[in-house]
Chain A
Amino acid sequence: MDEHNEQELAEIRKVLKELLVTNLNLEDIEPEQIKDDEILFGQGLGLDSLDAVEIVVLLQRNFGLEVKDMKEGKKIFYSLDTLARYVLENRKQ
C-alpha cells in the first residue's frame, strides 16, 4: 500500500471513529481512544446487532456504500481496521 493510501486510510479511520462514538452513543470513550485495529463487537467495543444495522446506515449516508449481505457484513465489521479498508476500497470516488 502506498503512502497516499496509508494517509487516506488514516483519515477514514478518524472519520469512522467519530461517526461510531456519535451515532452509536458510545459512552466513556473518546474517538481517539479507539484503537486502529479495535474489534467492534463482543469483547472489543461491545457493539451489538442494533449497532451493526446502524453502521450499515452510516456507510450509506457517509460513503454511499451498501452492505446488503450481513454474512459479508460480518467480515467487514470485524474491526475498525477491516471497516476502514472496506470503505477505502469501495467508496464512490
Chain B
Amino acid sequence: MNIAGIGIVFNRGRGLPALEKALEEGWVPPTASRYSVSDDFIKDRVILKEMRRADTFSKMACLAAHDAVADSGLSVAGKSSLGIILASALGPYVTTFRFLDDILQYGDAKVSPTVFSHSVHNAAVSYIALCLQSRGPTLTITQFSQSFYQALLLAEAWMLEDRCTHVLVGSAEQCDDILEYVCRQKIHLAEDGKIEPFLFSESPKAVPGEGSVFFLLDKQETSGKYGKISIHGDNGVQGLDMYLLECSGLTGDEAVYRNDAKAGPLISSYTPLFGSMMSGIGFSCAAAALMLKNQRYYAAPVQSNPHNAPLCGGHQSAPLNTIRCISYGCHNEKMEFTLKHAHG
C-alpha cells in the first residue's frame, strides 16, 4: 500500500510541519503530568463547520483524516471507492464518563441524548464521512494495543478484494484525569514526564498522551512522496536502515524489545514526543514516513541507553530507504510493518 497523505494532531500541534518541528527539536517535558492536545489545535471553523456538538475525540479524528486527504492532493473525497477505518483502543471514553455524570446527576430519564450519541465509538467516523461527503465503507475497530495494526490489515484486505481503491486508516486516543488515575493504578508513570524507550525495562514508565493520526493509503504501484507500507513478507533485516520501537511504558514489560535492539539496524523511538497511547504505533508510523520523505534521520529524542543499542543519536540527512515499525501487545504478541521509500 502506498502512503499518499498524512494528517496528525498531537500535543505539539496539528499537521506535518508540527511533527517535523517536534522531530527536529526533540523532547520537551509535558506541561502537566501527561501530553494533552490543546484546544487551540482543534479549532477549525471551516473543516469543523458541521460539528458544533462534536467532542474532542471526534474533532481530533476529523481534522487528522481531513488533513491526510488534503496532504495527498488526491480528489478522493465523495468517492464510494474510499474506505475509512478508525482504530481506537479506548474510544471516546471521556464522553462516556460525561454521560455517566448525567446519569448520576439527573437520573436515568434526564440524560443528554447529544452526549450519549457522541459516546459511541463510531461517532468520529460518522463525522469524518460527513466532512468528506464519503459514501463508501466506514468502520471503527477497537483492539487495545493491536488497534492500529488490525486496521492496517483490514485496509489491505479491502484493497485486495477491490472493495476500495483508497483507504483512510487512522487512530485516535484521548486522555483525561480519570484515565491517568487508572494508569497510576495499573502501570508506572514517569513523574519527570520522560518516556525512556531504550531502558527496555521490565517495569517501564509511561506518560499518557492523546491525539489522532490518519494515513490515506492507495493501491498505486509506484511509491509517492512517503513510500509504501507492507505488513507481510520478508521479516529479515537485509537492507533495513532502522527499527522504530514502540516502547512507551504501556504494556508492562519491555524487555521483549531487547532482541530487536540487537538485531542489527539502527534503533530509534519517538514515543517520548507523542506520549504513551495504546494505538501509538500509528504516530510512530507517521514519524517514519516523514523521515523517508525528508531523507533525514531524526535523533531519538530520549537517549538513555544502558543496553548499548545502536541508537539514532543525531539528526542527519542521508539516504534512508527502509524503516520497520515494531510493537508488542499485552500478551507479547509481535506486530510489525515496514515502510519503504520510493528508491528503496
Q: A57 to B114, alpha carbons, bound, how many Å?
A: 10
Total B residues in contact with A, Cβ cutoff 8 Å: 11
Q: Are B111 and A50 in contact (CB under 8 A)?
A: no
Main secondary structure of the interface of A (DSSP, over half): helix
Q: In this assembly, does A26 line the interface, its C-beta being within 8 Å of a C-beta of chain B?
A: yes
Residue on B nearest A46 in the bound complex, by CB: B52
A67 contacts partner chain B, Cβ-Cβ < 8 Å: no
Chain A positions 40 through 58: 1 when the CB is less than 8 Å from some CB of chain B, otherwise 0: 0000000000110110010
B52 touches A60 (CB 8 A): no
Cα–Cα, bound, A33→B112 (Å): 25
Residues of A within 8 A of B45 (CB): 27
Cross-chain contact A54 with B113 (CB below 8 angstroms): yes
Task: Name B's interface SS.
Answer: loop
Q: A24-B53, A57-B111 are in contact. List 20 more A-B contacts (CB 8 A).
A: A23-B112, A23-B114, A24-B52, A24-B114, A25-B52, A25-B53, A27-B45, A27-B52, A50-B53, A50-B113, A50-B117, A54-B112, A54-B113, A54-B114, A57-B110, A57-B112, A57-B113, A60-B109, A61-B106, A61-B110
* Interface pairs (24), CB distance under 8 Å: A23-B112, A23-B114, A24-B52, A24-B114, A25-B52, A25-B53, A25-B114, A27-B45, A27-B52, A50-B53, A50-B113, A50-B114, A50-B117, A51-B114, A53-B113, A54-B113, A54-B114, A57-B110, A57-B111, A57-B112, A60-B109, A60-B110, A61-B106, A61-B110
| Least Cβ–Cβ distance between B113 and chain A, in angstroms | 5
CB-based A-B contact count at 8 angstroms:
28
Q: Contact mask B94-136 → A, CB, 8 Å, 1/0?
A: 0000000000001001111110010000000000000000000
Query: A41 to B69, alpha carbons, bound, how many Å?
Result: 33
